[in-house]
Amino acid sequence: MFSTAQRIQEYSGFMTSVVLIMLAVISATSLIHEHMMVVPSASISIGQVDVHRRPRTGYNYRNQEYSSMYFDLEADLRPVFNWNTKQIFVYLTASYPGRPFANKVVLWDRIIQNKEDAKFSLHNESSAYEIYDVGGKFNERTATVRLEWNHQPFVGFLTYNKSPESTKFAFPSLE
């Protein structure tokens, strides 16, 4: 009645449907776990903030203020990990007002691939990236520093979260 090719096609179609339903369930349970998890803890303190002026590279060679800083960071991101976690991309951001838009820059980042490395403590760590303002000067603005992370699952959607704890600092003036 049915040929072998039809039976193989029907079986593979059924198995594909089963696998897709399993992947959808895995993704949904991972999202539910993430919304029910305990909020990870993070403690940030800013140490020395350096601002210096040097010529910008590229098309415009006017002087530009650049800033780098030292910070202490203690974080425990173990609650973020579950059975569907491939890795977590963790980054420290600084947000400060600017003209015409607000600025948000990354100061430091790290990729965490296992739960054992998700609890870390950094002391007197230097920012990985220098930051600058598009207006050329920081003008003693106040910045808010916060720990954020991107949860990357094996199956499902990427999610972005941030720690409720933050700290503020003011850029020093050069003039």
Phi-psi region of 156 (alpha: psi -120 to 50; beta: other; left: phi over 0): left
Q: Which residues pair with 164 in a beta bridge?
A: none
- Res 58: pLDDT: 67
Domains of the chain by start residue, with CATH: 37-170 (2.60.40)
Structure tokens at 163: 């720690």
Instruction: Assess whether pLDDT exceeds 90 at residue 1.
Output: no
Instruction: Assess whether pLDDT exceeds 90 at residue 89.
Output: yes
Indicate the SS3 state at residue 100.
coil
Indicate the SS3 state at residue 117.
helix
Nearest CA to 41 among 70, 5, 80, 99? Answer: 80
Share of the chain above pLDDT 90, in %: 38
- Res 175: pLDDT: 65
Is pTM beyond 0.85? Reply is no
Residue with tokens 């399993």: 22
